[in-house]
Amino acid sequence: MRAAALLAAALFAGTAAAAQPPAPAGQLYPILAEAARTGWTADRRRDAAELTLALGDVDAALAHYEAALLIDPHDEITARRTAELAVQNSRWDHAADALRRLIALLPDDPWANLHLGLLLAPAAPHDSLAFLRRAAQTGMAPPAELIETIEQFADARTGLPLAVGAVMTDAALYGYAERAFELAVALDPDTAQALASVALVRAIQGKDGAPWLDQALSLGSESAQLYVAAGLYYRAVGQDFISLEMFLNALSRDPLNPEINAEVSTTYGLLGDTATADFWAQQAQLLARGMRAPDAPPLEP
C-alpha cells in the first residue's frame, strides 16, 4: 500500500513538473532557432528581449528591443520599454537614443522629456533646459534647484557637471549624479572633489567607490569639502570610525562651518558618544547663528 502511494505521488509530481512552463532559457531556444531558420520578426525580437531580461542579461535585452524597433519603428510600447530599461539600469548611451526615439513618437511625454533633460544636464545645458521645461509643462517638474543651477552655469566654461551632480545628489537622483560627476572627472582628472563625489554616489547605490576615493585623497587637496565627501562615503559603507576621521579633517580646514560641525555631531552619535555628539550639535547651532562656543574639545577621534 505504501509503495503504491509513493508511486502515485511520484507520478503526480512528474505530471505537475511537466505541466509547468519551461524556464526562460528553454523558451528562448526555440525562438532563436526559428529566427535562424525563417528570420526575425518584431514579435520574436520582443519575446527574446523579455526572456533574456528574465535571464539577467540587460544588454542583450536592449539589443533585442532596439532590433524590434528597427522592424517596427512606430511601436510606442516597445519604445517606452526600451527607454525605461536603459534608464533604470544606467545604460546611458542606450538611454539617450531610446529617449529621443520615444519623444519622436510622443513629443509631449512628460517622463521621456524629464529623463532626457536630466541626461543632458551636465553636458548640453540649453538642450536640457528645453526638455526639462517641456516636462514641467506636461506635469512632471524637475527639481527647481536643478533648473536654476543649469541656467547659472549654462554659458560657463567650467563647473557645470560638478554643480549639476551636487543638485542631483541632493534630489536622490544618484544614477544621474554619478554620470555628471564622471563627466567632471573626464574633463579634469585632477579634480579631487569630483572623484570623491563619484565615490560617494556609488557607495549610496551599493557600488564600489573605493578606487575613486583613494585617487581623490592621493591628490593631497586641502579642500574641506573633499573630506566631507570622504566622511559621507565611509558612513555610507558603515565605517564610522574612518568617517569621523574624515569629518575631523574637514573640520580642521573649515572650523566655522556649521554643516561640518553637524556632521561631526552625527558621527559621534553613530559611535555612541552622545555627550560629544551633543556638544558638536550645540556648536553647529551656535555657528549657524554666527556664534561659537569657547570650550571646543580638541579635534581627535
The span from the CA of 282 to the CA of 172, in Å, is: 28
The span from the CA of 63 to the CA of 52, in Å, is: 10
Q: Which amino acid is at 46?
A: R
pLDDT score, position 282: 96
State the pTM of this model. 0.84
3-state secondary structure the chain: CHHHHHHHHHHHHHHHHHHCCCCHHHHHHHHHHHHHHHCCCHHHHHHHHHHHHHCCCHHHHHHHHHHHHHHCCCCHHHHHHHHHHHHHCCCHHHHHHHHHHHHHHCCCCHHHHHHHHHHHCCCCHHHHHHHHHHHHHCCCCCCHHHHHHHHHHCCCCCCHHHHHHHHHHHCCCHHHHHHHHHHHHHHCCCCHHHHHHHHHHHHHCCCCCHHHHHHHHHCCCCCHHHHHHHHHHHHHCCCHHHHHHHHHHHHHHCCCCHHHHHHHHHHHHHCCCHHHHHHHHHHHHHHHCCCCCCCCCCCCC
Instruction: Give whole-number Cα distances, 252 to 161, 222, 225, 239, 262, in Å.
Output: 28, 10, 12, 20, 14
Please write the tens of the pLDDT for every residue from 191-231: 999 999 999 999 999 999 999 999 999 998 889 999 999 99
Asked if 259 contacts 229 with a C-beta cutoff of 8 angstroms, the reply is no
Average pLDDT (168-192) is 94
Whether pLDDT at 6 is above 60: no
Whether pLDDT at 62 is above 90: yes
Please write the tens of the pLDDT for every residue from 117-165: 999 999 999 999 999 999 999 989 999 999 999 999 999 878 999 999 9
Instruction: Give whole-number Cα distances, 246 to 41, 123, 136, in Å.
Output: 57, 31, 39
pLDDT score, position 19: 47
pLDDT score, position 290: 82
Please write the tens of the pLDDT for every residue from 241-291: 999 999 999 999 999 999 999 999 999 999 999 999 999 999 999 999 886
Of the chain, the end-to-end C-alpha distance in Å amounts to: 74
